[in-house]
């Protein structure tokens, strides 16, 4: 098992807080989720996570119109400059204060930041090299309260900002005599949005219930040529609109979010009731009226061409894209509205199932991160989900509502419901046997385990004996024998082994103590249990930080891991009345999972760390940090001793500011299912998918260490993957040929599976086609490589082909309908390689595949000719043999006749 796991994707949470924003090409939607950013690819129906590793929740996003660069600002005012080409964080700029609005100028030269009552104007990063990525240009003053929104004029010469003090102020970026700031006061509530129209004459200001349209005396770009103009005579209110007068429904809730499209003059307004209103200006005609979300709309965004409107809600983590022309949803993503409690990988690793206290079971597609189905049959919190080890099309869930349900992932329906006929039981744990024929669940209130038949849906037996809730169950994965072994652990500090093979007790008395094979007592409560892949070892996590290994066949303990010091030291929340060191004594492992080979164990619990242990040595090998988000409790390890008693700190004062309050949401890892080359982390802030696929190969390009001599040295030292990686990046055919022909045959499948997809599409397919076209005599070796590479990367190649077809169809549609300059720019941005688009050139890869197919057909025809020649030779020699045999027989017969005559 390899140990260099890296974060891959985040499931379960589509949106948490902050502002959402569309990419410049209009096909990507960026959503802040905690200290990470989720990228929805609306064209290819995919989801990716941009891991910027911010130390607090991301609140504000801004995209540069000049460079593929993103600015993400968190709760405490740290701005992360991220490259969308590589997904890497370029630098972090601390604003040293809470930021309320961020916006780039249309020309990409300036970045406006709303900090408190002021606007900080920075020179934006450019393509030229510079020591400071953000350099302060000037500061605008004048507000008496916090700034809410910022907007730019189309010529990047003016800034307008709205504030909580119910005023909007217009600032000039460059010095204009007598015009430095102009105040627009016409509202009684905080300004939710202020916008400068494209004509540089009209300005819109939006507050709760009202919209004011301001008209300038002269266009803003002509102010420099006017000498007798005073700020008091620059603007006047031309119109005042009320939302209640235009909507067909009664609008009683306040405005919560506003967005404006300047080209279409389309105003989108979101309300706390989830209502979305679209108006056109200057007529203020309502275009669309829809209850877009079930709760308050906290953020709105409109894409570049104005077709899609994105809305997000914090309460349930909902995000949706509305196509207002067709009056339909283009995309809708729902998060678990409450804490997720369980997750499970499908046996083929293609799907991930999650359950939560919101009574929902969600199934996610691992490849693109999208939810494919949500089951809502449960009426109480879901406490467990599981897949049968030999069936990827069935998922089973247990709930506190007293039911265990089995779902069909082909027809997306609940095809079986398991219950206890005599009473209502709150199920707390779940297990499914390897064949998928039996389902077992443990009770929270009855202290009993129940076993059902999946085929009939009948309750087979009730396992009694525990005196506390059953915390976990597991079936023995070894199916070589005839016995079906079930293991249960409980808060009564015991482990019980049951033999449930073919036992169906009396219908009037389902309970049976005769099924118990063995009872093991521990010193404290048992929290979870996991079988090794061969079924010959158990790992049990206890309340005292220990992990105990047990042999179920011999009935002996095989060792113990003390994880006291591996969970870390931190307070769970600021409200704890104990020190971090004392709080660490109450931590424990909530879940454990074996690796595929059984040599390693992954454990997680009340900590931000996932621990990887060596099972034979009982030693900690590595710690993986799940999150560095200090907005969550239990993450910060260094604390101010003066805040140990939080009731006396400033955060506990009744009149504290909103930004001074600390969250009570903590980090809790509740499930760690293994998925071959990776594992999933189920925690309170989302489901993280970690994978080591491709970790052996560096895909960033050539550096000073990438040389032919270093590649040959790595090959001599046995580091075949590193040597092959260097050779492919150098693209030296002779070097690649030398290394590939030196790799042992038994390593081909492993290395082919680990190859990054860009190595395959950019170079290897063309190289294999070249070698098989007659350049090499090792035909069998290269056919083996071709078979392994195509088998390992077939799904990725098909996905790339589908995405390329979608891009071509969209570009052809754009070329037919949009032939102006802006549409050409959109197409150029769409085709630009970056974080949101595929980096390779599919046309070249497709041509290489055609050449590879031709080479294989050429090899096939040569083999057929050789086989035919061998067959003809064989027939010839066989006929000669028959002829010689016939002549020998004739000669023998003649000799016999002559002997008889004589």
Question: Which pair of structure tokens corresponds to residue 883?
Answer: 């002829």
Q: What is the mean pLDDT of the chain?
A: 80
Instruction: Give the pLDDT band (50/70/90) at residue 641.
Output: low
Question: How far apart, in whole angstroms, are the C-alpha atoms of residue 216 and residue 221?
Answer: 11
Same domain for 732 and 752?
Answer: no
For residues 821 and 760, membership in a common domain is answered with: yes
Q: DSSP readout, 166-223? A: SEEEEEEEEEETTEEEEEEE--SS-EEEEEE-TTSSEEEEEESSEEEEEEESS-GGGG
Strands 609-614 and 619-625: antiparallel
Rounded-to-integer distance, Cα 431 and Cα 473, Å: 6
Q: What's the pLDDT tens digit per position in 137-148?
A: 999 988 889 999
- What tokens appear for 100 in the block? 């309320």
Residue 158: pLDDT over 50: yes
pLDDT for residue 83: 84
Two tokens, residue 438: 């039996």
For residues 764 and 113, which has the higher predicted lDDT (pLDDT)?
Answer: 113
pLDDT given for residue 173 in this prediction: 87
Residue 688 falls within a domain, yes or no? Answer: yes
- DSSP string of 775-835, one letter each residue: I-S-HHHHHHHHHHHHHHHHHHHHHHHHHHHHHHHHHHHHHHH--SHHHHHHHHHHHS-ST
Find the angle CA(134)-CA(140)-CA(144) to the nearest 5 degrees. Answer: 125
Q: Is the model more confident about 840 or about 897?
A: 897
pLDDT at 227 over 90: no
Q: Residue 177 burial (CB < 10 Å; 0-12/13-18/19+)? A: exposed
| CB 31 within 8 Å of CB 312 | yes
Q: Judge if 894 and 757 occupy the same domain.
A: yes
Is 850 in the same domain as 877? yes
In which band, very low, low, confident or very high, does the pLDDT at 260 lie, cut at 50, 70 and 90?
A: very high
Q: Supply the pLDDT for residue 340.
A: 84
Structure confidence at residue 482 (pLDDT): 67
CA distance 225 to 232: 17
The pLDDT score that the predictor gives to residue 300 is: 93
Tokens of 700: 């960033």
Residue pointed to by tokens 């102010």: 223
Average pLDDT over residues 69-93: 87
Mean pLDDT of 543-568: 87
762 domain-assigned: yes
- Which residue bears the tokens 């499209």? 261
Give mean pLDDT, residues 641-670: 43
Are 859 and 772 a contacting pair, CB within 8 Å? yes
Helices (H), 243-395: 243-246
Identify the DSSP state of 511: B
Q: Residue 830: give the domain boundaries.
A: 744-902
Whole-number pLDDT of residue 605: 83
Query: Lowest mean pLDDT: which of 54-63, 380-389, 724-733, 841-850?
Result: 841-850
Q: Please tell me the distance from the alpha carbon of residue 23 to that of residue 705, in angstroms, as a whole number.
A: 36
- 841 has pLDDT over 90: no
Structure tokens at 768: 């294999």
If asked whether residues 825 and 713 sit together in one domain, one would say no
Q: What is the pLDDT of residue 659?
A: 30
Cβ atoms 124, 105 nearer than 8 A: yes
Q: Take residue 497 and report the two structure tokens written for it.
A: 């082994």
Percent of all residues in the chain with a pLDDT value above 70, rounded to a whole number: 81
- Whether residue 583 contacts residue 575, with contact meaning beta carbons closer than 8 Å, is answered with no
Residue 623 lies in a domain: yes
> What is the mean pLDDT of the segment spanning 662-684?
48
| 759 assigned to some structural domain | yes
State whether 726 and 873 are in the same domain: no
The answer to whether residue 395 scores a pLDDT higher than 50 is: yes
- pLDDT reported for residue 338: 81
Report the distance separating Cα 479 and Cα 476, nearest Å. 8
825 and 896 housed in the same domain: yes
Residue 881 belongs to some domain of the structure: yes
| Among 160, 154, 180, 355, residue whose Cα is nearest residue 261 | 154
pLDDT, tens digit, 9 for 90 and up, residues 792-840: 887 777 777 776 666 555 555 544 454 444 444 444 443 333 434 343 4
pLDDT at 504 > cutoff 50: no
* Cis peptide bond prior to 282, omega within 30° of 0: yes
- For the stretch 581-596, pLDDT in tens is 666 666 788 889 888 8
Residue 520 pairs with which residues in a beta bridge? 495
Question: Which pLDDT belongs to residue 902?
Answer: 65
pLDDT of the residue at 232: 55
Of all helices (H) and strands (E), which one includes residue 289? strand 285-291
In this structure, which long-range contacts are made by residues 360-363, counting pairs with CB atoms below 8 Å and at least 24 apart in sequence? 360/336, 361/385, 361/395, 361/397, 361/405, 361/407, 362/12, 362/336, 363/395, 363/409
pLDDT at 899 over 80: no
- Output phi, psi for 623, to 5 deg: -115, 135
Q: Domain check: are 753 and 888 in the same one?
A: yes
∠ CA 355-609-651, nearest 5°, is 85
Task: Specify whether 793 is located in the same domain as 849.
Answer: yes
Any domain includes 707:
yes
Lowest mean pLDDT among 257-261, 485-489, 662-666: 662-666
Report, in angstroms and rounded to the nearest whole number, the Rg of the chain calculated over CA atoms.
34
Is 355 part of any domain? Answer: no
Q: Are residues 856 and 894 in the same domain?
A: yes
| 707 shares its domain with 841 | no
Q: How far apart are CA 575 and CA 570, in angstroms?
A: 13
What are 473's two structure tokens? 């169950």
What digits encode the pLDDT tens for the residues 187-197?
888 999 999 98
Which tops the pLDDT comparison, 350 or 256?
256
Q: How far apart are CA 294 and CA 269, in angstroms?
A: 15
Split into its structural domains, the chain has a count of 3
pLDDT exceeds cutoff 90 at 112: yes
Strands 669-671 and 678-683: antiparallel
* Residue 894 and residue 763 share a domain: yes
178 pLDDT exceeds 50? yes
**Alpha carbon distances (Å) from 425 to 400, 512, 876:** 7, 18, 80
Which of 738, 761, 791 terminates a domain? The answer is 738
Both tokens of 388, joined, read 């049968």
Residue 700 has pLDDT above 70, yes or no: no
For residue 302, pLDDT beyond 90: yes
Nearest alpha-carbon partner for 549 in 557, 472, 525: 557
- Residue 45 placed within a domain: no
Strand partners, 480: none
């Amino acid at each position: 098992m390899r140990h260099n796991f890296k974060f891959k994707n985040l499931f379960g949470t589509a949106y948490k807080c902050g502002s959402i924003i569309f990419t410049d090409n209009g096909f990507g939607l960026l959503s802040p989720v905690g200290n990470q950013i989720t990228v929805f690819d609306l064209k290819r129906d995919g989801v990716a996570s941009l891991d910027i590793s911010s130390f607090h929740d991301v609140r504000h996003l801004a995209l540069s119109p000049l460079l593929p660069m993103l600015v993400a600002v968190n709760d405490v005012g740290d701005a992360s400059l991220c490259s969308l080409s590589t997904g890497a964080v370029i630098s972090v700029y601390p604003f040293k204060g809470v930021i309320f609005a961020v916006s780039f100028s249309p020309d990409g030269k300036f970045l406006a930041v709303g900090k408190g009552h002021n606007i900080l104007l920075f020179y934006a990063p450019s393509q030229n090299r510079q020591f400071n990525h953000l350099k302060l240009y000037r500061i605008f003053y004048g507000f008496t309260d916090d700034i809410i929104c910022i907007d730019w004029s189309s010529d990047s010469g003016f800034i307008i900002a709205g504030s909580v003090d119910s005023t909007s102020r217009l600032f000039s970026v460059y010095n204009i005599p007598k015009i430095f700031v102009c105040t627009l006061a016409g509202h009684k509530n905080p300004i939710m949005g202020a916008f400068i129209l494209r004509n540089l004459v009209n300005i819109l200001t939006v507050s709760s219930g009202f919209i004011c349209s301001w008209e300038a005396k002269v266009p803003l770009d002509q102010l420099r040529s006017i000498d007798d103009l005073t700020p008091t005579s620059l603007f006047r209110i031309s119109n005042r609109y009320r939302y209640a007068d235009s909507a067909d429904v009664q609008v009683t809730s306040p405005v919560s979010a506003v967005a404006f499209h300047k080209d279409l003059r389309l105003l989108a307004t979101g309300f706390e009731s989830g209502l979305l209103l679209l108006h056109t200006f200057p007529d203020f005609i309502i275009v669309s009226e829809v209850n877009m979300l079930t709760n308050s709309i906290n953020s709105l965004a409109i894409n570049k061409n104005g077709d899609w409107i994105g809305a997000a809600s914090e309460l349930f983590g909902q995000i949706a894209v509305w196509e207002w022309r067709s009056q339909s949803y283009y995309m809708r993503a729902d998060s678990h509205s409450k804490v997720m409690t369980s997750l499970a990988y499908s046996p083929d690793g293609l799907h991930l199932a999650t359950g939560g206290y919101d009574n929902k079971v969600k199934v996610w597609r691992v490849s693109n991160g999208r939810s494919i189905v949500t089951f809502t049959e449960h009426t109480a919190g879901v406490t467990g989900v599981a897949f049968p080890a030999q069936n990827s099309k069935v998922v089973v869930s247990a709930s506190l509502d007293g039911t265990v349900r089995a779902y069909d992932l082909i027809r997306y329906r609940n095809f079986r419901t398991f219950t206890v006929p005599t009473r209502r039981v709150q199920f707390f744990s779940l297990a499914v046997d390897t064949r998928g024929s039996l389902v077992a669940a443990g009770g929270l209130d009855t202290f009993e385990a129940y076993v059902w038949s999946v085929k009939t849906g009948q309750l087979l037996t009730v396992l009694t004996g525990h005196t506390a809730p059953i915390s976990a169950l597991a079936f023995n994965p070894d199916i070589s024998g005839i016995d079906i072994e079930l293991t249960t652990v409980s808060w009564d500090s015991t482990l019980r082994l049951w033999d449930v093979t073919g036992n169906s007790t009396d219908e009037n008395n389902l309970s049976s103590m005769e099924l118990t094979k063995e009872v093991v007592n521990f010193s404290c409560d048992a929290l979870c249990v996991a079988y090794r892949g061969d079924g010959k070892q158990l790992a049990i996590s206890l309340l005292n930080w220990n992990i105990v290994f047990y042999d179920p066949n011999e009935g002996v303990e095989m060792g113990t891991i003390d994880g006291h010091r591996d969970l870390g030291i931190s307070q769970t929340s600021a409200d704890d009345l104990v020190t971090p060191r004392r709080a660490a004594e109450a931590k424990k492992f909530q879940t454990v999972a074996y690796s595929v080979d059984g040599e390693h164990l992954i454990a997680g619990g009340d900590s931000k760390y996932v621990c990887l242990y060596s099972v034979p040595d009982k030693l900690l090998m590595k710690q993986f940090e799940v999150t560095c988000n200090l907005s969550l409790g239990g993450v910060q390890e260094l604390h101010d001793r003066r805040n140990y008693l939080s009731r006396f700190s400033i955060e506990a004062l009744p009149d504290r500011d909103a930004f001074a309050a600390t969250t009570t949401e903590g980090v809790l890892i509740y499930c760690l299912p293994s998925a071959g080359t990776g594992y999933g982390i189920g925690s309170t802030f989302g489901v993280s998918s970690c994978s080591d696929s491709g970790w052996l190969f560096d895909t960033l390009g050539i550096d000073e260490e990438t040389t032919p001599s270093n590649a040959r040295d790595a090959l001599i030292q046995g580091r075949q993957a590193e040597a092959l990686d260097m050779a492919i990046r150098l693209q030296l055919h002779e070097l690649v040929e030398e290394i590939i022909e030196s790799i042992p045959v038994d390593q081909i499948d492993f290395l082919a599976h680990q190859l990054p997809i860009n190595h395959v599409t950019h170079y290897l397919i063309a190289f294999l086609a070249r070698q098989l076209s007659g350049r090499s005599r090792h035909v069998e070796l290269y056919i083996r490589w071709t078979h392994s590479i195509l088998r390992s990367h077939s799904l990725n190649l098909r996905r790339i082909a589908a995405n390329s077809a979608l891009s071509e169809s969209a570009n052809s549609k754009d070329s037919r309908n949009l032939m102006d300059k802006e549409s050409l720019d959109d197409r150029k941005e769409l085709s630009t390689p970056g974080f949101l688009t595929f980096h390779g050139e599919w046309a070249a890869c497709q041509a290489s595949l055609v050449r590879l197919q031709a080479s294989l057909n050429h090899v096939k025809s040569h083999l057929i000719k050789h086989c035919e020649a061998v067959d003809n030779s064989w027939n010839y020699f066989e006929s000669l043999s028959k002829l010689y045999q016939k002549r020998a027989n004739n000669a023998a017969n003649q000799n016999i006749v002559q002997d008889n005559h004589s």
